[in-house]
Amino acid sequence: MSTATAVTGMEAFDRTTSTWGRITMLLGLALSLAGPMYLVFIADLGVTLTHVLTAYAAVAATFLIFAVVEPLTYFPILGQAAMYQAFMIGNISNKLLPAAVVAQDSIGVRPGTKKADLSAVMAICGAALVHLTSLLVFVGLLGTWLLAHVPPQVMEVARLYILPAIAGAVLVQAVATMRQPRTTAIALGVALILALVVVPVVPVVGMYTTAVAVALTIALAWILGSRTDRPARDEHDESSGTAPADQEVR
């Protein structure tokens, strides 16, 4: 396949993805709102619009910040097409994102490239297929039987440690794939300071720690990176006999 054909194909893929991604997301939004709308305007259950808005405010106070942070943090790894898939399927951080990261690392591509975007799409397709199959078998067919035969001690251990184990594995895989030691160190430092110092002193910040950690990490990585890289750029300009951009403007 020639380069021109590949570029044309990716442009068509992006246009199709953008069109159908928006349509399916809007349909999903309409279906998710159908229940509250039915309870408020059709069913005579005493549920008013005030009740719905109050419930929404209670949930949004905790989770609305994630609606802003998650797209910003996931997009550089997943790309456009996989973002539509991920937010339609759900379980992004503990299932779809790890699948995409492992797929990209397996074929040796860096996030943000077209190959990485396509590998994320295929990885999410595979993860969704495995997930639905496991749900059918272990929940739909064997769910009641498993609950009756698995010892309570095992269930308690699974409840306590499965999510941290998955999150830890995803973190290590992401660090190994991105290979950004400075940003990783900044992120760990910010997270530790927020968790061990800021939150105990100001508990109300607890529900916003994820957003604060992401924003501070991005800002510090950018500021420290620009300061560290500037001397190297200045040395290159002097060795090549060119003046810095601000001097050229003057």
User: If you average pLDDT over residues 68-97, what whole number do you get?
Assistant: 86
CB-CB contact of 217 with 190 (8 Å): yes
User: If you average pLDDT over residues 171-188, what whole number do you get?
Assistant: 80
Higher pLDDT, 100 or 240: 100
CB-CB contact of 103 with 130 (8 Å): no
Question: In whole angstroms, what is the distance from residue 221 CA to residue 225 CA?
Answer: 6
Report pLDDT for 73: 82
Checking if the pLDDT of 244 tops 50, the result is no
Tell me the residue type at 25: M
Report the share of the chain in percent with pLDDT over 90: 12
How high is the mean pLDDT of the chain?
A: 81
- The whole-model pTM stands at 0.65
Report pLDDT for 62: 67
Checking if the pLDDT of 174 tops 80, the result is no
Checking if the pLDDT of 140 tops 90, the result is no
